[in-house]
């Protein structure tokens, strides 16, 4: 095939934390592809490895205590092979990130204007004054009222929603190709959440960037995403277009997730944690499917080998031996 | 900012008044007869009363206090009972020597304290961190007069590299920036630097470790800053607390060097205070304590103002 490679291409990513007494296998073979301008939502319960996967894309996991295997390519660049200087140039310019808690992710003792201008000067060179002007432009685009004044504010002088807008402005400062957003609205009020989501979606179209969006909230995923990847125990257990996943989920875990919140369909703010049983111990993973112990359809075969992805529709795959059963459900 | 500065200055006025009252009373509450050192042991009652009147000790306390204050404002702290010289002159000379010693010691102490603190904070639980921690614990816990004596024994008595006592050759108390005087400064300054070094190192280590564990550090990394750029952010975050600690340490060094100055016969305020206490030299004692206390007040003021100026999280109200 001669199709162009995807913008983000993750193959068989494995992340193991070796700092503790036992190695923790947080990510166990993730494959992900993202096209230019596409928005992917990663869903999954707490501890399933969503944040670790995002951080791996920017090599933000603590280098000394982390073993990373597999391949990560963004725009043809091999991320895991970047030298320190190249990595600095890559971070923030090719791929940038919005964090869950803008109150904690911004430096408290610098003005927002400085924090943005500093990034622009670092990546694009040029004068500090030009960078400040660009920062003002960014503040206008993320629609922060009275932007001139706000640029001189410190993070603690702004509301949560305004801070997250500033964080988004910072992330967009150097026109990245990929934006990573790790639960960017979880720390915000419901009404502010919607505004921020709409803003991200709008800017994503305007700038044509690809977005990987981590969330607990299916409602949020429906709002912003083209495609969904459901993570469980450090693996992507199901991936496909958002509509397919909602209407015809094929992995028992996804089915459980959707069922657990079926009564208040698509309501925002519902966390995905109502499936009986507890998530797998990442320091001691079972040899087979890690969902098997909690699965209603589990068979002895499920506990012996990890299922490979099975195509169950157009661009829709599930890692399950029993997709024939789930089709009926 | 100017309004804040003005307010802060106004607040110091009652503090200064309180400090002078305490200085004045402290000395009068202390037991002992102020004239014992100048009067012959067999002096007559008549002579005693005469002397009391001459020094004004027969007046009521409040009157003495107001007179003392009034003259102090004009820069006159009275005359020393023991030497008959002007207290202001004695104190200023001693302050100059103490300041010199304190500033040099602070410089050494802060330089190594900051160095050890930052290195230990950045490389927590590494060998460097352990060594720096041990050094700073020793620095904080070893009695410094003992350290001073050890240094004198080793470098003055045994090796004969440096003079053991005094501020200059031939017991001169006038300091001059030449090698003969600098030699005299080394041992007391090093001894004195050990305490702020330990405290600054420990504070900075904890501070840096705390800052590095905050979420904005990976966020800075994520936007592509170099480790040096991130270091700049760490420094600015650490600066307000570090300055406060260093200001206090400087204050302690300026006032709290009686032991070291005595061990090294360094003609500073501590030495002077010591002499004043043993000779029951009231005016000298009051004057020295007052000047030292005002130093503290001023230093606190400066630290507060600087801290407020550089830390946006402190409200300027
Ligand atoms: N630096 C680290 N050292 C050791 N273990 C880690 C580290 N970072 C993450 N982990 C572990 O990796 C696992 C996956 O964590 P991750 O943060 O990716 O979960 P998540 O899916 O983002 O969950 P949440 O929804 O709660 O954010 C967790 O068990 C976590 O404890
Ligand atoms: Mg997370």
Structural domains of chain B sorted by starting position, each given as residue range(s) with its CATH number in brackets: 89-268 (1.10.3720.10)
Q: Tokens at residue B260, please? A: 């070291």
pLDDT at B90 over 70: yes
Residue contact B216–A58, C-beta within 8 A: no
Q: In 3D, which of A41, A53, A54 has the Cα closest to residue A228?
A: A41
In the reported structure, the alpha carbon of residue A46 is separated from the centroid of ligand 2 by a whole-number distance in angstroms of: 7
Q: What is the DSSP letter of B154?
A: I
Residue contact A154–B229, C-beta within 8 A: no
Q: Which listed ligand is nearest to A272 at the C-alpha? A: 1
Residue contact A88–B313, C-beta within 8 A: no
State CA B278 to chain mean position distance: 21
Distances from the Cα of B129 to the Cα of B123, B210, B235, angstroms: 6, 15, 18
Per-residue model confidence (pLDDT) at position A261: 65
Ligand 1 pocket residue status of A16, Cβ below 6 Å: no
- Cβ-Cβ contacts under 8 Å for A3 (sequence gap 6 or more): none
Closest residue to B312, CB basis, from A123, A154, A170:
A154
Burial annotation B103-118 (CB, 10 A radius, 16+ → b, else e): ebbbebbbebbbebbb
CB atoms within 10 A of CB B279: 18
Chain segment B92-117, per-residue pLDDT in tens? 888 888 888 888 888 899 899 999 89
Chain segment A81-128, per-residue pLDDT in tens? 999 999 999 999 999 999 988 889 999 999 999 999 999 999 998 899
What whole-number distance in Å separates Cα of residue A239 and Cα of residue A229?
A: 4
Closest residue to A60, CB basis, from B218, B229, B310:
B218
HEC string of A227-261? EEEEEECCEEEEEEEHHHHHHCCCCHHHHHHHHHC
Chain segment B227-244, per-residue pLDDT in tens? 899 999 999 999 888 888
What whole-number distance in Å separates Cα of residue B165 and Cα of residue B181?
A: 11
- Cβ-Cβ contacts under 8 Å for B150 (sequence gap 6 or more): none
Interface test with A, best of B125, B214, B224 (most A CBs within 10 A): B224
Among chain B residues, CA nearest to A107: B216
**Percent of the residues in chain B that have a pLDDT greater than 70, as a whole number:** 91
In the reported structure, the alpha carbon of residue A307 is separated from the centroid of ligand 2 by a whole-number distance in angstroms of: 25
Alpha helices in B41-165 (DSSP H): 45-55, 61-73, 87-122, 127-141, 144-151
- Give the residue-averaged pLDDT of B168-175: 65
Q: How far is B317 from chain A (nearest CA, A)?
A: 15
What whole-number distance in Å separates Cα of residue A286 and Cα of residue A296?
A: 17
Quick check: B87 and B169 in contact, CB under 8 A?
Answer: no
Closest residue to A104, CB basis, from B215, B226, B310:
B215
Residue nearest to atom 5 of ligand 1 (CA): A17
Ligand 1 pocket residue status of A233, Cβ below 6 Å: no
Residue nearest to atom 6 of ligand 1 (CA): A17
What whole-number distance in Å separates Cα of residue A246 and Cα of residue A291?
A: 20
Please classify residue A282 by burial: count the beta carbons closer than 10 Å to its beta carbon, then call 0-12 exposed, 13-18 middle and 19+ buried.
buried
Q: How far is B224 from chain A (nearest CA, A)?
A: 4
Quick check: A238 and A254 in contact, CB under 8 A?
Answer: yes
Distances from the Cα of B287 to the Cα of A168, B278, B284, angstroms: 61, 15, 5
Complex prediction ipTM = 0.87
3-state secondary structure (DSSP) of residue B280:
coil
Per-residue model confidence (pLDDT) at position A176: 93
The partner residues of A72 in beta bridges, in order of sequence, read A10
What whole-number distance in Å separates Cα of residue A226 and Cα of residue A256?
A: 21
Residue contact B229–A96, C-beta within 8 A: no
In the reported structure, the alpha carbon of residue A202 is separated from the centroid of ligand 1 by a whole-number distance in angstroms of: 30
pLDDT at B81 over 80: no
What whole-number distance in Å separates Cα of residue B211 and Cα of residue B220?
A: 12
Q: How far is B137 from chain A (nearest CA, A)?
A: 28
Residue contact A122–B236, C-beta within 8 A: no
Per-residue model confidence (pLDDT) at position B79: 77
HEC string of chain A? CCCCCCCEEEEEEEEEECCCCCCEEEEEEEEEEECCCCEEEEECCCCCCHHHHHHHHCCCCCHHHEEEEEEEEECCEEHHHCCHHHHHHHECCCEEEECCCHHHHCCCCCCHHHHHHHHHHHHHCCCHHHHHHHHHHHHHHCCCCCHHHHHCCCHHHCCHHHHHHHHHHHHHCCCCCEEEEECCCCCCCHHHHHHHHHHHHHHHHHHCCEEEEEECCHHHHHHHCCEEEEEECCEEEEEEEHHHHHHCCCCHHHHHHHHHCCCCCCCCCCCCCCCCCCCCCCCCCCCCCCCHHHCCCCCHHHHCCCCCEEEEECCEEEECCCHHHHHHC
Ligand 1 pocket residue status of A134, Cβ below 6 Å: no
Residue contact A92–B222, C-beta within 8 A: yes
What are the chain A neighbours of B237 within 8 Å (beta carbons)? Answer: 107-109
Domain extent listing, chain A: 8-94+176-264+271-326
Closest residue to B219, CB basis, from A89, A105, A156:
A105
* Structure-token match 């030699």, residue found: B183
Quick check: A142 and A166 in contact, CB under 8 A?
Answer: yes
Q: What is the CATH number of domain A8-94+176-264+271-326?
A: 3.40.50.300
Ligand 1 pocket residue status of A215, Cβ below 6 Å: no
Q: Which listed ligand is nearest to A234 at the C-alpha? A: 1
pLDDT means over runs of 10, chain A (329 residues): 79 92 92 92 91 94 91 92 93 93 91 94 92 93 92 92 93 93 86 88 89 88 91 94 91 86 51 68 88 86 88 90 75
What whole-number distance in Å separates Cα of residue A71 and Cα of residue A14?
A: 9
Closest residue to A119, CB basis, from B214, B223, B313:
B223
- Helix pair angle (B269-278, B87-122), 10° resolution: 130
- Give the residue-averaged pLDDT of B188-217: 89
What are the chain B neighbours of A91 within 8 Å (beta carbons)? Answer: 221-224
What whole-number distance in Å separates Cα of residue A136 and Cα of residue A153?
A: 12
């Amino acid at each position: 095939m001669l199709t162009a490679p995807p913008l983000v291409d993750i193959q068989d990513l494995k992340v193991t934390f070796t700092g503790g007494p036992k190695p923790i296998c947080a990510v166990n073979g993730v494959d992900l592809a993202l096209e230019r301008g596409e928005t992917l939502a990663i869903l999954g319960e707490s501890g399933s490895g969503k944040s670790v996967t995002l951080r791996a894309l920017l090599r933000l996991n603590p280098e000394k205590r982390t073993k990373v295997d597999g391949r990560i390519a963004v725009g043809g660049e091999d991320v895991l092979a970047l030298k320190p200087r190249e990595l600095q140039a890559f971070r923030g310019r090719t791929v940038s990130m919005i964090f869950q808690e803008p109150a904690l992710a911004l430096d408290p003792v610098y003005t927002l204007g400085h924090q943005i201008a500093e990034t622009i000067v670092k990546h694009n060179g040029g004068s500090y004054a030009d960078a400040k002007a660009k920062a003002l432009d960014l503040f206008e685009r993320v629609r922060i009222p009275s932007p001139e004044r706000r640029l001189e504010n410190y993070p603690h002088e702004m509301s949560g929603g305004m801070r997250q807008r500033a964080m988004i402005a910072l992330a967009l400062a150097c026109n990245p190709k990929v934006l990573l957003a790790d639960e960017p609205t979880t720390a915000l009020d419901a009404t502010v959440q919607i505004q921020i989501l709409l803003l991200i979606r709008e800017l994503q179209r305007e700038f044509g960037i690809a977005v990987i969006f981590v969330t607990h909230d299916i409602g949020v995923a429906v709002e912003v995403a083209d495609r969904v990847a459901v993570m469980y125990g450090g693996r992507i257990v199901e991936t496909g277009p958002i509509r397919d996943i909602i209407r015809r989920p094929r992995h028992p875990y996804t089915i459980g997730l959707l069922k657990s919140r079926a009564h208040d369909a698509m309501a925002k703010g519902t966390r995905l944690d109502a499936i009986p049983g507890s998530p797998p111990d990442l320091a001691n993973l079972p040899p087979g499917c890690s969902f098997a112990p909690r699965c209603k359809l589990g068979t002895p075969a499920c506990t012996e080998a990890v299922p490979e992805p099975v195509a169950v529709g157009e661009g829709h795959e599930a890692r399950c031996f029993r997709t024939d059963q789930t089709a009926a459900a | 900012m100017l309004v804040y500065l003005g307010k802060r200055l106004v607040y110091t006025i009652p503090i200064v008044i309180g400090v002078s009252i305490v200085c004045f009373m402290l000395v009068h509450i202390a037991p002992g007869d102020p004239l014992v050192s100048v009067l012959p042991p067999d002096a007559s009652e008549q002579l005693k009363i005469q002397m009391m009147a001459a020094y004004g000790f027969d007046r009521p306390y409040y009157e003495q206090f107001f007179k003392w204050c009034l003259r102090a404002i004009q820069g006159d702290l009275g005359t020393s009972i023991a030497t008959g010289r002007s207290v202001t002159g004695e104190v200023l000379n001693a302050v100059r020597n103490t300041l010199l010693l304190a500033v040099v010691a602070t410089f050494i102490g802060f330089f190594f304290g900051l160095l050890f603190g930052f290195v230990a904070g950045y490389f927590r639980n590494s060998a460097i961190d352990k060594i720096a921690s041990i050094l700073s614990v020793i620095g904080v816990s070893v009695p410094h007069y003992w350290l001073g004596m050890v240094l004198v024994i080793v470098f003055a008595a045994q090796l004969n590299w440096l003079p053991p006592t005094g501020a200059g050759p031939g017991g001169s108390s006038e300091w001059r920036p030449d090698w003969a005087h600098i030699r005299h400064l080394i041992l007391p300054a090093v001894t004195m630097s050990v305490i702020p070094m330990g405290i600054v190192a420990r504070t900075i280590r904890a501070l840096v470790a705390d800052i590095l564990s905050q979420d904005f550090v990976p966020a800075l990394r994520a936007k592509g800053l170099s480790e040096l750029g991130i270091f700049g952010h760490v420094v600015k975050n650490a600066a307000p607390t570090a300055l406060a600690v260093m200001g206090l340490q400087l204050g302690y060094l300026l006032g709290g060097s009686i032991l070291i100055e005595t061990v090294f016969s360094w003609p500073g305020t501590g030495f002077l205070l010591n002499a004043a206490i043993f000779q029951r030299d009231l005016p000298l004692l009051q004057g020295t304590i007052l000047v030292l206390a005002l130093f503290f007040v001023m230093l606190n003021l400066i630290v507060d103002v600087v801290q407020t100026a550089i830390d946006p999280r402190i409200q300027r109200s």
